[in-house]
Structure 1
Amino acid sequence: MTTPQLTWSSERTLRIAFAENADETVHRTVRAAYESLRASQLPAILDLTPAYDTLQVTIDPLAHDPTALERSIASLLSEAVAPDHPIPPARTVTIPVCYDPEFGPDLESVGAHNNLSIEQVVSRHTSAEYSVHFLGFSPGFAYLGGLARELWTPRLDTPRTRIPAGSVGIAGSQTGIYPQSTPGGWRLIGRTPLVLFDPMRDPPALLSVGDTVRFQAISRDEYESHRNERRRTT
């Protein structure tokens, strides 16, 4: 692992770059740095935004000396990026998904692209563990790493203008879940009845950086049962 590179993007933003090519080792390093800076409670830090291979630090420009703050952050990073540096254990979140063809209109094309049957696509998607690398695109949208190589499939040539909330998709080497109804070009393979983002919830997003995610296949009846139960309790 190379030494993290610190660059001021503005008087309020410090960008920390860890590597040019993101992999699970880099993801662990980004998460370790994120957890270390969050625990430090440096008063000048307003927000931390992790991504695949970078960490953005938002600063209060009136509450710090840039040189001194950069030294403090660099010192914390030197410990955080060590291979044996401890990080909090990952929380495991199981996401029920109905892989009904109505909810997964691209199941067949994902299978065809990889010479797999629909059943094999579902089996491989549910047999892996995924890591939440970062949240972006829309509130609560988690980019998940760990998709089996035999499921990698390019995005749609023409994005859909509306994707239902809860839709589970694949794009390249990633998988993810649409928290809200939005346009999008990921290939849809299923849908979860869970609410991924609720502004009235604390925290609003169901998933957080560093979480481990597993998908569990459920039937259409189980999907409807989940939705009905949610309506009764909200």
Structure 2
Amino acid sequence: MSQSPSLSTAPSFRMETVGMDALIVRLFAAIDEAHMPWILAADNALRERFGEALIDLVPSYTTLLVHYDVARLSQREARQWIDDALRGLKPASTETGREHRIPVWYDDSVGPELTRIAERLGVDTDEIVRRHAGRDYCAFALGFSPGYAFMGMVEEALATPRLKTPRRKVAAGSVGIAERQTAIYSMRSPGGWNILGRTAVELFDRERDEISLFRPGDRVRFEPISREAFIEQGGDTTPLEER
């Protein structure tokens, strides 16, 4: 896989109230893969500081949501704890995230936008596959559905807005892009991303020790495979409905 990005400059964080028991900590103003070591370091520092008083901590592109137990501390105390934890913060190692290789069957039948994006750029679908699978992506955040990771950054030329009318059903394993993000649908659900292909990899499994395959900071590379290989891996070749 490619080398990790260089570190960004240290963040200047600020806090915002989002509920009687939750605060948003804003570390950066823009999305940048180089911010991830700081986000991960802040995540670790806050988990350690809050301990059992922490209900949930959700890292994202530029922020962390801190959900704390109001029976244990007031918002004033929570703000002080955050300030204490993040003062003098140092970035986490750029090697913290795990590496994943995800086999993908890129095909019009399961990825209707593959041809549309190729036509827009004036290239063939093989070129779109080469570009999408030709770089590593950083898992910035988990959300939308269990195991669903928002990843980036997609090559600027491939950036494509979400569909104006979302599909009612997108198959589990569908690989898509929206603007400069890419993601894999962890389960069948509605969705408006531009679908390029499908993987048979299970992203969310309650029987695994770690039920979500991805976590923030992980690095992902897609590997094109044939229809036959996809079927051998247990993939579902049912065509994706247009709408």
Task: Write the distance in 1 (CA, Å) between the matches of 2:62 and 2:72.
Answer: 27
- Judge conservation of contact 1:32–1:87 (CA < 8 Å) in 2: no
Q: Check 1:10–1:154 CA distance in 2 against 1; reply closer, same or farther (3 A cut).
A: closer
- Judge conservation of contact 1:128–1:214 (CA < 8 Å) in 2: yes
Task: Write the distance in 2 (CA, Å) between the matches of 1:41 and 1:15.
Answer: 15
Report matched runs for 1:1-234 at 5 Å: 1-40=10-49, 42-80=51-89, 82=90, 86=93, 89-227=96-234
- Judge conservation of contact 2:23–2:65 (CA < 8 Å) in 1: yes
C-alpha deviation, 1:66, in angstroms = 3.6
How big is each residue's C-alpha offset from its partner over 1:175-220, in whole Å with a ceiling of 9 and x where there is no partner? Answer: 1000111111111101001111123333221111111001011111
Task: Write the distance in 2 (CA, Å) between the matches of 1:25 and 1:11.
Answer: 32
Q: Secondary structure at the match of 2:61?
A: coil
Task: Write the distance in 2 (CA, Å) between the matches of 1:79 and 1:116.
Answer: 49
Q: Runs of 5+ in structure 1 lacking a partner?
A: 229-234
- Give RMSD over aligned pairs: 1.9
Task: Write the distance in 1 (CA, Å) between the matches of 2:203 and 2:222.
Answer: 14
C-alpha deviation, 1:148, in angstroms = 1.1
Task: Please say which of residues 6-15 and 178-187 is displaced more in the overlay.
Answer: 6-15
- Judge conservation of contact 1:35–1:87 (CA < 8 Å) in 2: no
How does the TM-score come out when normalised to structure 1?
A: 0.89
Q: Secondary structure at the match of 1:134?
A: strand
How big is each residue's C-alpha offset from its partner over 1:14-60, in whole Å with a ceiling of 9 and x where there is no partner? Answer: 21012222222333322221132234453311210111111001101
Task: Write the distance in 1 (CA, Å) between the matches of 2:24 and 2:160.
Answer: 31
Paired residue for 2:5? none
Task: Write the distance in 1 (CA, Å) between the matches of 2:79 and 2:94.
Answer: 22
Task: Write the distance in 1 (CA, Å) between the matches of 2:53 and 2:94.
Answer: 23
State the aligned residue count. Answer: 226
Q: What is the one-letter code of the residue matched to 1:32?
A: A
- Judge conservation of contact 1:105–1:188 (CA < 8 Å) in 2: yes
Percent identity over the alignment is 35
How does the TM-score come out when normalised to structure 2?
A: 0.86
Paired residue for 2:239? none
Q: Runs of 5+ in structure 2 lacking a partner?
A: 1-9, 236-243
